[in-house]
Amino acid sequence: MTAKTSTPSASFPVRRMDFSFGASQKYWFAGDPFMSHFMNNLSSLFPYGEKFFVDSVRAVREQITEPQLKKDISAFIGQEAMHSKEHAAYNEYAAEHDIDLGRLELRIKVLLAWVTKITTQKQRLAATCALEHFTATMAEQLLQREDLTTQMNDPKLYQLWMWHAIEENEHKAVAYDVYQAVGGGYFTRVAMMAITTLTFFGVIGWFQLHLLRKDGQLFNWRSWKKGLGMLFSPRNGFLTKLLLPYLDYYRPGFHPLDHDSKQLEQRWRQRLGFN
Ligand SMILES: [Fe+2]
Ligand SMILES: [Fe+2]
């Protein structure tokens, strides 16, 4: 793996990564099928999902005049393109364990092509802001939760996810600032969040069942119990803990930087040797 830095004048760098995933374990998260497939599930969304984010921001780039935001847009596009590429590399590798993430990627491609057809530029940008809020808050959880990250028992996948998690926090305000700069309003922002939430959980629920069924794990109740506990336990479930930050998005004056994650990012940059 190598990490080089470019676009130094943006608020955050674009790191050129090149992971090779040979010999990664099949059940690399907690040795558990449900949780490993949950992370695989998320990974299958990224190659075309991140392309959708990039396209949504790029479509209005010409309307942006503020110099710092223009630089940050370039760095945002660079980071997201790199995430697409590296998750696509992992997804391709997963086929070695008979996990067909390529098929799920294509379903996302078709879904997003349809979404692009039936929405306006501003609605797509609002959907991007909503999904960027998901990725930033999920990523922040990962950065905070040693109890979860120590269960990633494959070093390359650990690096992939933690690198991605840092960058989602570094660029979490860019799509939002662009949305505001092009006159995006409150109603479209929260309406698209509501629609995006239903779609997102519908898709990951569907993909989770598909991955477990294809792997012969659909009736592995022990794994279901463990996975659902890790995601939904009332006190510290991975998804349960996202509820308050999620609701905050519906606040009229919300801005992604209201929640400061800079120290956390800095700690992890040092930890992964990015400084
Ligand atoms: Fe990303
Ligand atoms: Fe992102």
pLDDT in tens, 83-106: 999 999 999 999 999 999 999 999
CA of 76 to the centre of ligand 1 (A): 9
pLDDT category of residue 23 using cuts at 50, 70 and 90? confident
Q: How far is the CA of 218 from the centre of ligand 2 (A)?
A: 31
Torsion of Cα atoms, 60 then 61 then 67 then 73, to 10°: 110
**Ligand 1 center to 80 CA (angstroms):** 5
- Domain-wise residue ranges, the chain: 30-271
pLDDT given for residue 119 in this prediction: 98
- The reported pTM is 0.94
Ligand 1 centre and the CA of 87: distance in Å? 9
Q: How far is the CA of 147 from the centre of ligand 2 (A)?
A: 24
Residue 205 has, within 13 A of its CA and on its CB side, a CA count of 6
Q: How far apart are CA 173 and CA 175, in angstroms?
A: 6
Q: How far is the CA of 210 from the centre of ligand 1 (A)?
A: 24
Closest-lying ligand to the alpha carbon of 132? Answer: 2
- pLDDT score of 149 more than 50: yes
pLDDT of the residue at 7 = 44
Q: Provide the pLDDT confidence category of residue 22 given band limits of 50, 70 and 90.
A: confident
% of the chain beyond a pLDDT of 70: 97
Query: Nearest bound ligand to CA 50?
Result: 1
Q: How confident is the model over 221-249, as a mean pLDDT? A: 97
Q: How far apart are the CA of 220 and the centre of ligand 1, in A? A: 31
Q: Distance from first CA to last CA of the chain, Å, rounded? A: 15
| Ligand 2 centroid, distance to 30 Cα (angstroms) | 26
Does the structure show a pLDDT above 60 at 196?
yes
**Average pLDDT of the chain?**
95
Distances (CA, A) of 136 to 28, 123, 132: 23, 20, 6
| Ligand with an atom nearest the CA of residue 131 | 2
Q: CB neighbours (10 Å) of residue 20?
A: 10
Question: Which residues keep their CB under 5 angstroms from ion ligand 2?
Answer: 135, 168
The ligand minimizing its distance to the Cα of 170 is 2
How far, rounded to the nearest angstrom, does the alpha carbon of residue 104 sit from its chain's CA centroid?
A: 16
The residue-averaged pLDDT of 21-33 equals: 91
Q: Tokens 């996202």 belong to which residue?
A: 242
| Per-residue model confidence (pLDDT) at position 258 | 97
**What residues does the ion ligand 1 have nearby, CB within 5 Å?**
80, 83
Alpha carbon of 30 to ligand 1 centroid (Å): 23
* Residue 3 pLDDT level (bands cut at 50, 70, 90): low
